[in-house]
Structure formats: C-alpha cells, structure tokens
Amino acid sequence: MAALTPTAGTAPGAVPGKDAPPARPAAARRPRPRVWRGAVLGLAGVYFVVPLLASFVFTVHVPGHGVDFGAYTGILSADGFGRSLLLSLGLAAATIAVSLLLVVPAMVAVRLGAPRLRPLVEIVCMLPLVVPPIALVSGMQSVLRWGPDHLATTPLYQTFLAVQNQSFPLVLVFAYVVLALPFVYRSLDAGLRAVDLTTLVEAARNCGASAAYTLWRVVLPNLRSSLAGAAFLTLALVLGEYTIAALLGYEPFAVWIVTISGDEAQMSVAVSLLSLLIAWVLLLVLSRAGARADAGASAPAPASRADARGTTAPLPAPSGKE
C-alpha cells in the first residue's frame, strides 16, 4: 500500500520522473560577468595596438606639412626593395622545403619504427633554442674562412664558393633550417599526435601502396594544417631574421630595412608595418584553411557512423501482401 500511495507534491495520476516539474536552477548557477577576462584582453590589446598606431602616425605625419603618405607610395620605387624581398622569399621557400624534407620522413619513421628514439630526436630539434644565433654565425664564419685555405686544391673549394653566392646564398638556407627546427618539430609533432598514424600506414600497405605513395597520399593530407603552421612559422622567421644575414654580409629584406633606416626612417617603419600586416593576413588564411581541412577530415559519412556503431538500417516495410 505504501508503494501505491502518491507522495507529496505529485499529482494522483502523474508518473514519477516524467510528469514531475523541472527543478528550478539555483541562484548560484547564474552566469556572472567575467570582468577580469575583459580587463586582460583590453590590456593586451593596448599593449599591441598602441605601438602600431604610434608607428603609423610616425610614417604619415610630417612636421609642418600635415599628413603625407609618401612613405608608403615610395616603397615600390625604393632602391633594393624588390631585390631584397625576392631574396628573402626565395630563402624562405628553400628553407621550408629543406626543413619539411628532413623532418617529416624522420618523424614518421621514428614514430612507426623506433618510438624509443623520440626523446633523442626531440632534444636534437630543440637544441637551436639553447644555442644563440650569434654563436651559430660565429662558428659558420670560422668554417667559411677555414675552408678555402685548406681545401683550395680539392673539389670542395668550388662548393665553398657556391654556397656563398651573393645572388642566392645557400649558407643562409642552412642556417635558417637549423633555426627553424624547433618550430617545425613542434608543429608536426602536434599533428602526428592527433592522427592514428599506425592504422593509416597499415591500411595503405594492406592495399598494396608503397612507402613513398603512403607518405605522399595518406600521411601528408592528414598533416595539412600542421604543415601549413610549420611553413608559416618558418616564413616569419626568415623574413624577420637579421643577425646571421648581417654578420655574413648579405642583404635580405630585414637587413635592407635596417640599412635604409638611416636615410629613410619613415619608409623603413612603413615597410615594417606592411610586412607585419602581410604576415598577419597569411596567418589568418592558413588558420582558416587548416580549420576547414580538419573539419572536413573529421566529419564521417552517415554510413561510416552506422558501421562504427555496429547497427544496420531497418528494412523497409513490405508494400503488398505475401
């Protein structure tokens, strides 16, 4: 009889758990304004925006003449602008290609065949963060001075001259590859942790794919966002690097900006702002492209979801009598 007696607060014909009124949310659960979050974002915005605005005002304000955009209109006609920019873009493209060709196969091979070597590979790739660029360029200068004196009678003498060609110095590419190793490694490591690499490679091998085909058509498409991030970080590094190029006597884009700052201070700041704006635009484009690629790769077809649950769709009802 006790089980059939309705409890207090429940209608006689109500079903417990279904017709009960919903619980009112507690007052403590009401969303409170996050003032500290807005304050931190505001301070960060002021910290980054105010110097940029001051730089822009410096480029367009001419004492006694008002606003003048001559610093921006004269960039394309400036002596050495196109040559230095093309040199930096060429060095960036070569650095990106060499870095990815070295790191991607090495990381894939280590993750599949020798997982115990992962800490060693990580330490080697992180070493450039510990070695200062000034120490790296000092060692490179010593080697470049030592080579022609001791290898003048060997075929390597022409190699030393070729890597120091003023039109396209390969020695800068080698230095930039070393500097970019930590950023490339971290970006690719995050991408490899997000995919089941072993399953992908085994499935490709079961279908008869070779190792090169598997790397090109299976592994790399799943690392598209990571490759884009590594390429962008390398591009930003090469465009903004000054120490190594200046000490070795070359004039890429960053060195050219510092060179013209003595005679054309406003133009040098204007070029710096434009290069920063271009870098931001590239970052947004690569971020959106990587997000769309990840969303498309992570959205399975309805049939694959049904197969993963192990269920099948019900058969349609018969239309007539048997």
How many structural domains does the chain have? 1
pTM of the entire structure?
A: 0.74
Alpha helix locations (H) across the chain? Answer: 35-60, 70-73, 81-113, 118-126, 133-150, 156-162, 170-193, 197-206, 211-214, 220-222, 224-240, 243-248, 253-260, 265-298, 302-309
Judge whether 310 lies within some domain. Answer: no
pLDDT at 19: 52
DSSP 23: P
Identify the bridge partners of residue 61 per DSSP, sorted by sequence position.
Answer: 67
Q: How many CB atoms lie within 10 A of CB 175?
A: 23
pLDDT at 291: 61
pLDDT at 262: 74
Judge whether 45 lies within some domain. Answer: no
Residue 239, domain extent: 91-129+167-293
- CATH number of the domain encompassing residue 238: 1.10.3720.10
Judge whether 284 lies within some domain. Answer: yes
Judge whether 60 lies within some domain. Answer: no
Length of the chain in terms of residues written: 322
Judge whether 119 lies within some domain. Answer: yes
Q: What is the token pair recorded at 34?
A: 């996050």
CA distances from 261 to 74, 255, 256, 287 (A): 14, 10, 9, 33
pLDDT at 314: 46
**C-alpha–C-alpha distance, residues 210 and 215, integer Å:** 9
- At 249-308, the pLDDT tens digits run 899 988 988 888 777 888 888 888 888 887 788 777 766 765 665 555 554 444 443 443
Judge whether 26 lies within some domain. Answer: no
Judge whether 28 lies within some domain. Answer: no
pLDDT at 172: 94
Judge whether 314 lies within some domain. Answer: no
Q: Which residues of the chain have pLDDT under 70?
A: 1-33, 286-287, 289-322
